[in-house]
Structure 1
C-alpha cells in the first residue's frame, strides 16, 4: 500500500499568495497540479479583477447606461451571491461600494493621505446601491443602469478557494487545505488521522511572523469547513490623528469608526465566509454579534477594548471550537 504524505505547492494570484496542501501517495507529485490550480485562480482573476481593464467585471463597470451584459458563469455566481448578502443585510454589505472604496484610496487608483471632501463622498454615494442592479439568471446577464461599479474583492478570493477545492475533489483528492490570501478551506484528515488545524492570528503580529502561541487567538479545525478573516491592521491611513480603515460603510460613505481589530467567520464554503467578514466589520461588535446569533453564524470578533484586545465569540463559533 502506498505511503501517504502531505505535500504542498504555492504561487501568487490577485496581488496575494495561494497555497495548497494535500494528502497523497509519496511517489506522486502535487507540483504536477500547480498549473491546473493556477489556471483556476487566473480564471477568477481574469473575470473579477477591478485592477484589470479587460476583466468581465471591469467591462461591466465601464459599460454605458441601460445595457445588459452576459457574464461568465463563475462571475455571475459570485455577483448573485454578493447581491443576496446585500439584500439580507439591508445594504450594510454592498458590492456596489466600489466608487467609495476608490475615492478613499483603497482601490486600483492612488492612495490618499487625507479624507475626501464631503461633496465628493456625496457624489460617490449617488452611484451606490445594490438594488439598482437587475439579474437574468437564464442568460447570466446583469443590467448596468449607469455608473454602477461592482467590486467583488470581498468575495472573489473566497470563491476561488472553493473552486480550487472542486478541482482537487475532481482529481480524486480526499484530503486538502487550500488558502488564497488568508481565506481557507479544508477537507478530510492528515495521514495520522488528525484534522487540519489553523491558528487565527492576533492583530498586530507582523505578516508571516507568527512564531509564538500568544500571537494566536484561537486554533480551529478546518476539516469540512472554511474560514475568512478580515482585519483593520493591514490597509489604512491616518490624518490629523484619525485612522481610516479600508472597510467603508456603504450606508454612510465613511470608513467604519468603531473598535473592530479583526473578524473571523467559519462557514461551509469560503464564498459564504468571505463577505461575512466584511459585513461583520461594517456592522461592528454589537449589531454584528446580534446578526450572527440571529443567522446562526460562527463569528469571532477581536476588538480594541479598554484593556487591550478582547475576543467575542458567537455561540456557533464556540461550538465549532469544541468540535
Structure 2
C-alpha cells in the first residue's frame, strides 16, 4: 500500500444511536463496499441481540422452552459465553438475566410495573442469574435454559458491535482506525503523523453533554457505564437504567460513571457495567486485583471525585471537579 494515506469517515444509524468509523487508507479507495459492510455488521448484531426487535435471535431465545438446546448464530453464542465469564469473574455483578427488571422499571420494551411498587424493592417473583440457569455450548453454537429467563444484552452487545466494526475494517486491510457506537470506541494503530487516537471522556452530568477529559487510545477499546444518560423519575426520585442483580432495582451507590479500557470493546463494555454495579469500594478493589485500567467517577455533593486504576495500580491522586448543574 502507498505511504500516502487519506482520512475517511463513514457513519450510520444502529441500535437507537449512530456508529462511526474513522480510518486512514490509500488515497482514492472505493468506500462504497466498506460502508455497506460496516452497515451489515452492526445490523447483524442488532438483529441478533436487540430486545426491541420482536423477531431477534435473543427474543427467540427468551421465548424458547426450558431444557431444550436451541441453535443460535455464532456471534450471539460468543457474546453469551463472554457474559457468563464476566458474571463469574465479577461475582455475579454482571448478569444478563435482568430483562424482567429492565422492563419493570420502564427501560425495556415490556410493560413498566414499578409504579405499583415501592421504589427500591424487587419484583415479587424470585429470579435466577444467567450463570445459574443458562448453558452455552460455543463449539456447537447452541444454548439451553434450565429455567425461564428474560435476557438483556444491553450491557455488552454494543461493545461487541464496535468490535465487529473493527473486524470489518481489518478484512479490508485497514489497520489505522477509530470505530465507535455512541461512546464505546476501539482503536488500532496511529495516525500518519504518528499521533495516537484521542477520545473524549464525557462528564457524567444529566441533561448536558460536556467533556471531562481526554484519553489517548492505541490498539485498545474503551467503554463507559454511567447514571447520567438514561433514567426515569419515580415519585420524585431519579433512577438510572443499570440494574443491581442483588436488590432487583436500579443501582444505589455513589458512582456516577465507570470507564474501562480493555483489549476488546465487548469486554470493556461488560466490565464497565460490572464495576459500576460493584460500587465505589468493591469496584476499584476488583479492578486492582485483575490488573485493569479503569476510571471511577463518584458523586461527592456538588462535585465529582475520580479514582484511577492503571495496570491494576491505584493512582495516588484523586481529582475533584466541579459539577455543572442545570
Q: TM-score, normalised by structure 2?
A: 0.89
CA contact (8 A) 2:206 2:228 kept: no
Match of 2:215 among 216, 220, 224: 220
Q: Secondary structure at the match of 2:46?
A: helix
The equivalent residue for 2:27 is 26
The correspondence for 1:297, drawn from 289, 292, 298, is 292
Q: Relative to structure 1, is the Cα distance of residues 89 and 182 closer, same or farther in structure 2, using a 3 angstrom cutoff? A: same
Q: 1:219 to 1:256 in 2, by over 3 A?
A: same
Give the alignment of 1:69-88 within 5 angstroms. 69-88=70-89
Shift of 1:120: 8.5
Q: Post-superposition shift, 1:110?
A: 5.1
Q: 1:127 offset after TM fit, Å?
A: 4.6
**Distance (whole Å) between structure 1 residues aligned to residue 206 and residue 235 of structure 2:** 25
Summarize the Cα distance change of 1:245–1:70 in structure 2 as closer, same or farther, 3 Å threshold: same
Distance 1:124 1:185, change over 3 A: farther
CA-based RMSD of the aligned residues comes to 2.3
Structure 2 equivalent of residue 276 of structure 1 = 271
* 1:86/1:93 contact within 8 Å kept: yes
What's the counterpart of residue 39 of structure 1? 40
Match of 1:63 in 2: 64
288-297 vs 310-319, greater mean Cα deviation: 310-319
> Given that residues 288 and 312 in structure 2 are in contact (C-alpha distance below 8 angstroms), is that contact kept between their aligned partners in structure 1?
no
Alpha-carbon distance, 1:122 to partner: 3.9
What CA distance in whole angstroms lies between the structure 1 residues aligned with 2:114 and 2:201? 31
CA separation of 1:203/1:122 partners in 2, compared to 1, >3 Å: closer, same or farther? closer
Query: In the TM superposition, what is the alpha-carbon distance from 1:136 to its structure 2 partner?
Result: 2.4
Q: Distance in 2 between matches of 1:120 and 1:62?
A: 26
Does structure 2 retain, via aligned residues, the 8 Å contact 1:63–1:146? no
Shift of 1:115: 6.6
Please state which structure has a larger fraction of its residues in helix.
Answer: 1
Q: CA deviation at 1:129?
A: 4.2
- Give yes or no for contact 2:66–2:145 (8 Å, CA) kept in 1: yes
Instruction: Tell me the distance in 1 between the aligned counterparts of 2:292 and 2:119.
Output: 35
Aligned partners of 1:300 and 1:256: how far apart in 2?
18
Measured at CA, do residues 118 and 185 of structure 1 come closer, stay the same or move farther in structure 2, by a change above 3 Å? closer
Partner secondary structure for residue 123 of structure 1: coil
Match of 1:252 among 247, 256, 259: 247
| 1-structure distance, mates of 2:311, 2:174 | 29
Between the aligned partners of 1:276 and 1:119, the Cα distance in structure 2 is 24
**Moved segments of 4+, more than 6 Å:** 317-320
Gaps of 5+ in 1: 210-214
- Give yes or no for the alignment of 1:169 onto 2:152: no
* Structure 2 gap ranges (5+): 316-326
Partner secondary structure for residue 312 of structure 1: strand
Shift of 1:200: 0.4
Over 3 Å counting, the alpha-carbon distance change for 1:206 and 1:32 in structure 2 is farther
Of 281, 298, 306, 1:311 maps to: 306
TM-score, normalising length: structure 1: 0.90
Aligned to 2:323: none
Cα gap change, 1:21 to 1:205, in 2 (>3 Å)? farther
Deviates more, 1:305-314 or 1:111-120: 111-120
